[in-house]
Structure 1
């Protein structure tokens, strides 16, 4: 009887008591970003059509340029595939990075951000998770593009140092445009509107040295083609992979990437606070 009349123990608080807490509460930002990166990758694996497009579209574009247009384009190299592969790698990276805008916009408009905030998951971890997932997706697609290129005759002449330097330049480019895409996703009113950023990024490699030398373009286009952010990335990759002099192209590419990343990270932070009210 005395046991029945004994007062029930007070419930433990999730915020301050020793009782169980939400799974992400109090988790360091790096750990939360790792969890959300895994989540973003799982979501990517479930959208089979988008995943196949992201992985196979660059390979198909390379085959189209090499076998349909390559015979009519004189770039001064022995084979057109040698010239075009760096441009396709950048096109592939840009397309994969731009997809981050859609995934971020989907989270913001779908209400999941409010649930994450109730679990003490901040905007930094959420956005970093999307960007890290973009890097992983781009790494896979880059390997596929290089494998397909080698099958049709691309032979990189770089040593280990050259390959590492090329990977570093491409990684910096992917990070920059992934953060820019995250900011666009926060700014867009819907995932459909955010997807428009993909078309913009897909367009950038065309008025550059990706597929034809800039000297063959109309003179009024030379200024933009030579000084836009994609061109130095392509020139750096081409020189590094083929073991040719790159001049200042690599440093210019890294400077562009660093500037875009810094501005995009700051802009994404402001937009996230405005969009979520915290």
Structure 2
């Protein structure tokens, strides 16, 4: 049995125009949000994990961590939250990859490709739906952070800017998840593939410890890590302790570095994902 693809002679031609592409993407976004609302455990489990990280790192490791020579657990909790926020938005990558792999496995993607819709709408809709779920998770996580002693010190506008950078990073990483989801055969493989590389990215960074405490050969890796740039930017914008003093450009201009890294990741991995989507078969 054959399936229709974008290049098949009998496949409906996608309608052109930016407006139509946006409309198609929003329709797919709505479909995925409705699906999430009908499976509330997906959202609940996505909220539990970051809350556990906050509690564990705050109260289990907090007393043994030093931030700029200060071992006060309250200081470490404020230092920690920017890293937890960034880790949470990037770990959503695994969910994005698993969702797309599940759609591929069930043949839903082939059905979408047989419709006269923008080629990238299916993937854009999925990543936008994941972005909405990530925003909800950040709201809950911020409330938990406030309960354990985290505070913002530079005003609400800068704090909102920090959350915007976090969402941009999460959206960028969701495109990596999309590519992984299109490249594997099962949702389970997508989940595993989406997490394996995230652990070194998040832990070889400034999220949980000051890079100055790392070995000399690994410190530059941590400082040029796109993840570290967003964490550094959030600490600056929140006014939290632990802003790294370094000559590395991403650490000196973290806001710009965070934006540039995220935009670059979106451009590269969206291009690769859409190309893979055109040719992917189950």
> Could you say which residue in structure 1 is the equivalent of 2:124?
128
What's the RMSD between the two structures over aligned residues?
2.4
Residue from 209, 225, 229 that aligns with 2:206: 209
Residue from 158, 165, 173 that aligns with 1:162: 158
Shift of 1:198: 2.5
Residue from 75, 79, 86 that aligns with 2:82: 86
- Which segments of 5 or more consecutive residues in structure 1 lack a partner in the other structure? 1-23
Shift of 1:276: 4.8
Q: CA 1:83 to 1:28, structure 2 compared with 1: closer, same or farther past 3 Å?
A: same
Query: 1:166-177 to 2 correspondence within 5 Å?
Result: 166-177=162-173
Distance 1:211 1:268 in 2: 31
Instruction: Give a deviation string over 1:15-64, Cα, whole Å, max 9, x none.
Output: xxxxxxxxx99992222211211211222233444322211111110110
Instruction: Give a deviation string over 1:119-153, Cα, whole Å, max 9, x none.
Output: 32343111111010111011000011110000111
- Which segments of 5 or more consecutive residues in structure 2 lack a partner in the other structure? 1-13, 244-250
Q: Secondary structure at the match of 2:132?
A: helix
Size of the aligned set, in residue pairs, is 255
Contact 2:20 2:118 in 1 (8 A): no
Contact 1:157 1:242 in 2 (8 A): yes
Shift of 1:75: 0.8
Structure 1 residue 152 and structure 2 residue 148: aligned?
yes
With 84-93 and 96-105 compared, the bigger mean Cα shift is at 96-105
Shift of 1:260: 0.8
Instruction: Give a deviation string over 1:191-221, Cα, whole Å, max 9, x none.
Output: 1211121342244221111111111222332
Distance 1:185 1:123 in 2: 16
> Could you say which residue in structure 2 is the equivalent of 1:239?
236
Shift of 1:231: 0.6
Query: 1:27-42 to 2 correspondence within 5 Å?
Result: 28-42=20-34
Distance 1:51 1:160 in 2: 27
Contact 1:98 1:177 in 2 (8 A): no
> Could you say which residue in structure 1 is the equivalent of 2:135?
139
Q: Secondary structure at the match of 1:220?
A: coil
Higher CA-based Rg: 1
With 47-56 and 86-95 compared, the bigger mean Cα shift is at 47-56
With 48-57 and 237-246 compared, the bigger mean Cα shift is at 237-246
Contact 1:98 1:201 in 2 (8 A): no
Contact 1:104 1:186 in 2 (8 A): yes
Contact 1:91 1:202 in 2 (8 A): no
Distance 1:123 1:193 in 2: 25
Distance 2:22 2:214 in 1: 46
Instruction: Give a deviation string over 1:81-117, Cα, whole Å, max 9, x none.
Output: 1100000000110112331111111112211122223
Distance 1:258 1:101 in 2: 19
> Could you say which residue in structure 1 is the equivalent of 2:247?
none
Instruction: Give a deviation string over 1:141-177, Cα, whole Å, max 9, x none.
Output: 0011110000111111122331232122112211210
